[in-house]
Amino acid sequence: MTISPQQLLRAELANMQAYQVANSEGLIKLDAMENPYSFPASLQEQWLSTLKELELNRYPDPQASQLKQDFRTTYAVSSNLEMLFGNGSDELIQLLILAIAKPDACILTVTPSFSMYKIIAEFVGVRVIEVPLTAETFALQTNQVCKKIQQHKPALVFLACPNNPTGTLWPQAEVEKIVQQSSGLVVIDEAYAPFAAYSMLPLVEKYSHVLMLRTLSKMGLAGLRLGWLLGAEQWLSELNKLRLPYNINALTQASASLALNNISIFDAQAKLICQQRQLLSAAMQEIEGLQVFPSEANFILFKTLNSSAEIVFKRLIDNKILIKFVANNKLLDNCLRVTVGAENENRAFIAALKNSLF
């Protein structure tokens, strides 16, 4: 008997595509918002010594207790707030959506924004309500968001602050208006917090139905795949019931704790990335035929005004530079996104970009 996937698997899979990661071999990789600086040499020996002490024949601490304490100490997390760890923030987004996936449930987010909110929700069978950002400035249409909240009563509202792929950091007062109108959970995704001028953490402390997502990926530890969710214990204790056992492995727990105990090194790297962001943005603005958008993240969104973004993207690859083609939304027409790299990488990108706009 021959059994086909279509006979057993959910019909939604036929219309879905796997998350695509571009092949970066031989290229300067500026497509994934990674920290361009490697794990500091000053920590290498200490890190390896720590890993040698681990008993890999044993399961890791299921609650990641030491890691949780290190997070509390490093980020001065209030004792009134609880934490939940995930294998990257993607796992936590999935967990949140699974938790509210009742019949007729929906989530709300803005567009353009992080694609995984919609991808995960649609696979789980949860309806997605999207409110477009404003053209050109990518500002929140707060009144429209609040109107949709009143109309659809979403169980979850996802707001990425700063937003990906636009780099926009919206005023806290605007986000708070949305929080005040919501009868469901509001999840503020601060993946790019290390590079932003301010945090929305005060809203988590003020409102019990506000949760915050963070990740260690952008600060320089993307290989660890560690995300964390912060919020009131009444919510996180329930969400913890959906967390798979031992989801944070021993290597990740030990490595993350070491990094948190040496956070000043990573803070210095984030400061350097912000400096390079300013220099890169200024250099791009000097190039004729580009519209460069302000950014509070470790990437810059830009529009090619006189050339096809797709052609420019391909020419950059020919010049050994890989960035992200994001022109898959009408508000992102002819747009590309470049990660802020190290100084030499940014210079190579600028030179290649000039050669790609002819």
Q: Is residue 224 part of a domain?
A: yes
pLDDT at 11: 79
pLDDT at 55: 95
At 68, which helix (H) or strand (E)? Answer: helix 65-75
pLDDT at 12: 76
User: Do 116 and 176 fall within a single domain?
Assistant: yes
Give the domain-ending residue among 218, 236, 262.
Answer: 262
- For the chain, the residue count is 358
Q: Which of 152, 139, 90, 151 is nearest to 118 (CA)?
A: 90
For residue 295, the domain's CATH number is: 3.90.1150.10
The low-confidence residues of the chain, meaning pLDDT below 50, are: none
pLDDT at 18: 76
Are residues 324 and 254 in contact, defined by beta-carbon separation less than 8 angstroms? no
Encoded tokens for 343: 């100084």
pLDDT at 10: 81
Q: Is residue 32 part of a domain?
A: yes
pLDDT at 41: 82
The structural domain count of the chain equals 2
What φ, ψ does residue 121 adopt, rounded to 5°?
-60, -45
pLDDT at 40: 80
pLDDT digits (tens, 9 = 90+) for 151-194: 999 999 999 999 999 999 999 999 999 999 999 999 999 999 99
pLDDT digits (tens, 9 = 90+) for 289-299: 999 999 999 99
Give dist(CA 82, CA 38) in Å, integer: 31
Query: Which residues are CB-neighbours of 346 under 8 A, at least 6 positions away?
Result: 276, 279, 280, 283, 340
Q: Is residue 51 part of a domain?
A: no
pLDDT at 139: 97
pLDDT at 22: 80
Give the domain-ending residue among 262, 277, 312.
Answer: 262
Give dist(CA 251, CA 66) in Å, integer: 13
Q: Is residue 47 part of a domain?
A: no
Q: Is residue 49 part of a domain?
A: no
Give dist(CA 309, CA 57) in Å, integer: 50
Are residues 347 and 294 in contact, defined by beta-carbon separation less than 8 angstroms? no
What is the separation, in whole angstroms, between the first and last Cα of the chain? Answer: 58
What φ, ψ does residue 15 adopt, rounded to 5°?
-100, 5
The residue range of the domain holding 74 is 60-262
pLDDT at 332: 97
Encoded tokens for 131: 């409110």
pLDDT digits (tens, 9 = 90+) for 319-345: 999 999 999 899 999 999 999 999 999
Bridge partner residues of 188 (DSSP): 159, 212
User: Do 229 and 272 fall within a single domain?
Assistant: no
